[in-house]
């Protein structure tokens, strides 16, 4: 059974990747205190490097959408795993999830992006591990 079988907009598949709420993303990636407990998915941040350095979810991996679109491979820690894609607001992550699905990767995007993540009280750290901001 797929970790991403259903999202708020229905099943993922030929019609496009599913979308998940911030709370679902946190549960699927192990960031939530409670949830399904799987933590099997990797959180992939597709924002630009300066945005990533200003603030990102702890444990997330980074690959800018432009690099992904140019054919870059997923970071090693994300390969062979379901991917939850996040950006600032949800637009770039939707595009990235579509690109990844076209490559055969199980991918969903986060509705509301990192703004929603931070707004829900989930942690954001900067490139040095201190308190980060959503840039």
Q: Which of 74, 87, 107, 110 is catalytic?
A: 87
- CB–CB of 46/67 below 8 Å? no
- CB–CB of 123/114 below 8 Å? no
Tell me which residue has tokens 């992006």. 113
Q: Is 87 a catalytic residue?
A: yes
Alpha-carbon gap, residue 103 to 97, rounded angstroms? 10
- What are the residue numbers of the active site? 87
């Amino acid at each position: 059974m797929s970790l991403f079988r259903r999202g708020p907009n229905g099943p993922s598949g030929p019609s496009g990747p599913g979308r998940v709420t911030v709370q679902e993303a946190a549960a699927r990636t192990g960031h939530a205190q409670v949830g399904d407990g799987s933590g099997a998915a990797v959180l992939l941040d597709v924002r630009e490097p300066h945005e990533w350095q200003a603030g990102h979810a702890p444990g997330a991996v980074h690959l800018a959408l432009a690099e992904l679109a140019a054919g870059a491979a997923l970071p090693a820690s994300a390969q062979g795993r379901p991917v939850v894609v996040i950006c600032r607001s949800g637009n770039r992550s939707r595009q990235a999830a579509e690109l990844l699905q076209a490559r055969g990767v199980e991918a969903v995007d986060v509705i509301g992006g990192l703004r929603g993540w931070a707004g829900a009280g989930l942690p954001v750290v900067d490139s040095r591990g201190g308190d980060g901001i959503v840039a």
